[in-house]
Structure 1
């Protein structure tokens, strides 16, 4: 990154008179409300994986149907994130946040009461739409509510929530499915969101700052052509990545990816021409030209792909190769999640002399930790304490590759571009996770199948190949960070 930590710009000011009657928008309570909802929405990406076998048995779901139950949430979530950010800017972050949280809560109830695979797929799509409305408002509300060092601390907490969502989802999913509460089987993994969502709706309605109208001349349209082009290109990217491995990568998956590249090029061209005519593009070219934004987008995508791929392939190895239960596998990742969160909250207090090296150093540490995990587990057995040391190093490295990048990227954004930046960075984060699970998951499963009969040793061999790939991606991130630091 830069050789000095950039100053953080002030968010869009909100007049004191804009405080709604009956609201209590103290910053700490605002942060608690938005991050709790963020955590709940992220949890839902991972919690369903553990319940998948039970869902399949109870609803007699086909393989394709089960894939759509798991993937439907991710697909609509990724496709609609940019739109959610623009709606927040146009209609008000508080209003859209509450609408997204309400939709997510109602959809969770409907998922838990579903009586068929088709119903569950439809309500999972609705859940993803609710998250797409909700999540972009989190960063925007942080931008509005906090300034200076307080904003940096808030973004550190945001990073910690992102880190713990994956591990917590697997742990909580294992607990709820194993408990079989009231004989409900898989349904509590969805129904648990309902009381939490209701409480958060009541809290958010009280503590979130009231929306104020955009200044004259700043109210922008939705850019429907851009929305269609971007939505189509993201769909054509996420659907084959999510479903391709299970389907054996048929021709249609490759055609979709090729069409994605074409539509994304058309989207970029259209957005540039629209901005040149004085219109309001979905993603402002000015945002993409902000100092270091392009590199930050690459590094965020890379570290989230490594993070998601690391967790996913290790979960497969631990449960399939080492015979861990879902609960034990989830708990094994606790050191990674805890250290990711701790570092995300404290890195700004580290010595100023080391600040420029944090990002490349974090990526390099992630590469070393990934390789260490693969080598430690290469014999197909549990190696004890050294594995946890490697997990600690992975948590520190991935946090350093994420938290400073996110904070400094937002520091370069003008207040009027906060909504666009929130949507863009949230989308990049989500697409990075989808890519990591799909690419590294396909590599692991493909290598496992090539070994013949599955077992602890063949699973370990597949894991070792994946850790080489994970380390290579992390090394690219380190190089990118070094280039930025030298500039």
Structure 2
């Protein structure tokens, strides 16, 4: 197995003095890619008129990005582990910048969809390198702080996407503003490449004549399986799907075949795409489960609210984005705090955070059910702030606990698997929430925001149950977590 360079800290040497600078480069690039998950939502009407896109085209502008993102996470994490995370990170950033340029210049809906697919793949290439580099460069309490900042980045990017999109559309107009949603990535990508070459650790030394085993059959099986699972659910996220339900079952079967292949590949003495021993690492399976379910629940809140206030209350895109900003603010504050506290409280911190999120989401659902009105945004401020405060105690501490025992040489793969679970959870959660949200639209024309938010609360409850089970198991083994 190829070893990582000595630039990262080990028990016997000093921490890399560039580690915090390297972290900020990674976080800015990661923020850019995660922002593009949600920023386009408020611009869809402008895109529709700008390139004469059909509803199907618009669906692929959104879901195509998520699909390509999810498909490339694990293979790119594995390649980063083998050839060096800086190399793969830079490739991902360059590809993301070029595809962003192509999105902004796209003269037709078809070319925009293709560019978004490439952009999503680029995001999936660079993101596993971020968590892998944190594992490589940080130890102990510092690692918790670093993952805390990563959690803040994830939470904020998810929530502020509609705000940033709304600001650009308000400032530049609907006709050209949507193109600048993509153009703003260009200076960020250029700066990230320059700084990455300066501050990220050098790639590992290559052994002459040694081939890198990338497990091509494993890549194909996992990619086809994830595609089969995601395709039907992302297509149904806005009410209806053109993909048969049985495609998802085929995806599940292919994932099972992937697991069997990886076990055989490992037994032959080869280097698999995914080392299945990761799932024996304490905290990794339970953390992945909590993260997958939770992302299905909390991302649905933004999906429901940003559409509801625009279509039912006629909020502008900017005002719709500002409505969900309290969640981002609460998450930003407590994510950094959670990163500092996780080493002391462990799984208990995540469990308490999920309780707080649940209280906030239930309050949001009650507030929406109490009646619409122009002041709904103000009435949602406190409940969303509470939910955001809880979320900051969930995301980053859960990542820290999940990967704490993972060997550094497998950190990229482990991070890619966690994020793949998050993408699958997000897609399935929005599909489920969307099905309830649009259920009554065909008959009455009314969107069921209250019912959809109850689904979000149910998913958060399921994540809470999974976290509570892990907390109980940890205490049985070694006392308080």
TM-score after normalising by structure 2: 0.90
Residue 430 of structure 1: aligned partner: 423
Q: Does 1:242 align with 2:234?
A: yes
2: distance between equivalents of 1:464 and 1:122? Answer: 35
Q: CA deviation at 1:235?
A: 0.8
Aligned residue runs from structure 1 range 111-130, under 5 A: 111-130=103-122
Residue 481 of structure 1, CA deviation: 1.6
Matched residues, number: 463
Q: Distance in 2 between matches of 1:406 and 1:115?
A: 40
Aligned-residue CA RMSD in angstroms? 2.5
Cα deviation 1:280-321 (Å, max 9, x = unaligned): 221111101111221111100111111211111111212122
Matched-pair contact (CA < 8 Å) for 1:25–1:206:
no
Tell me the equivalent position of 2:13. none
Q: Is 1:164 matched up with 2:156? A: yes
Is 1:393–2:416 an aligned residue pair? no
- Residue 11 of structure 2 corresponds to which residue in structure 1? none
Partner of 1:82: 74
Find the counterpart in structure 1 of residue 86 from structure 2.
94
Aligned to 1:133: 125
Q: Is the 2:230–2:427 Cα contact (8 Å) retained in structure 1?
A: yes
Deviations 1:444-464 (A, max 9, x none): 1124445x033xxxx4xx122
Match of 1:203 in 2: 195
Deviates most, 384-393 or 82-91: 384-393
In structure 1, the residue matched to 2:269 is: 278
1:350 CA displacement: 4.8
Residue in 2 that maps onto 1:301:
292
Equivalent positions of 1:53-452 (< 5 A) are 53-180=45-172, 184-213=176-205, 220-246=212-238, 248-250=240-242, 252-350=243-341, 355-378=346-369, 379-381=371-373, 382-383=375-376, 386-450=379-443, 452=444
Q: Give how far 1:218 is off.
A: 10
Which deviates more from structure 2 when the two are superposed, residues 113-122 or residues 175-184? Answer: 175-184
Give me the TM-score of the superposition, normalised by structure 1: 0.89
2:338·2:392 contact (CA, 8 Å) conserved in 1?
no
Trace 1:32-43 onto structure 2 (pairs within 5 A): 32-43=24-35
- Once the two structures are TM-superposed, the CA of residue 352 in structure 1 deviates from its matched residue by 8.3
Question: Cα–Cα, structure 1 residues 373 and 181, in superposed 2: closer, same or farther, change >3 Å?
Answer: closer
Per the alignment, residue 470 of structure 1 pairs with 456
Deviation at 1:179, TM superposition (A): 2.0
SS at match of 2:201: coil
Give the secondary-structure state (helix, strand or coil) at the position aligned to 1:187.
helix
Residue 182 and residue 369 in structure 1: after superposition, are their counterparts in 2 closer, same or farther (change >3 A)? closer
Deviation at 1:69, TM superposition (A): 2.0
- How far did 1:364 drift? 2.1
Cα-to-partner distance string for 1:163-197 (whole Å, 9 max, x where unaligned): 01122211111111222269624211111111221
SS state at 2:394 partner: helix
Distance 1:219 1:428, change over 3 A: farther
Q: Describe the SS at the equivalent of 1:419.
A: helix
Check conservation: 1:26, 1:207, Cα contact below 8 A: yes
- C-alpha contact (below 8 Å) 1:244/1:253 kept by paired residues: no
The counterpart of 1:29, out of the listed 8, 21, 40, is: 21
Distance change (3 Å), C-alpha of 1:296 and 1:354: closer
CA separation of 1:181/1:202 partners in 2, compared to 1, >3 Å: closer, same or farther?
farther
Residue 209 (structure 1) shift:
1.4
Write the distance in 1 (CA, Å) between the matches of 2:408 and 2:168. Answer: 42
- Work out which of the residue numbers 451, 469, 475 in structure 2 matches 1:483: 469
**Following the alignment from structure 2 to structure 1, what is the Cα–Cα distance between the partners of residues 237 and 68?**
19
Residue from 36, 41, 54 that aligns with 1:44: 36
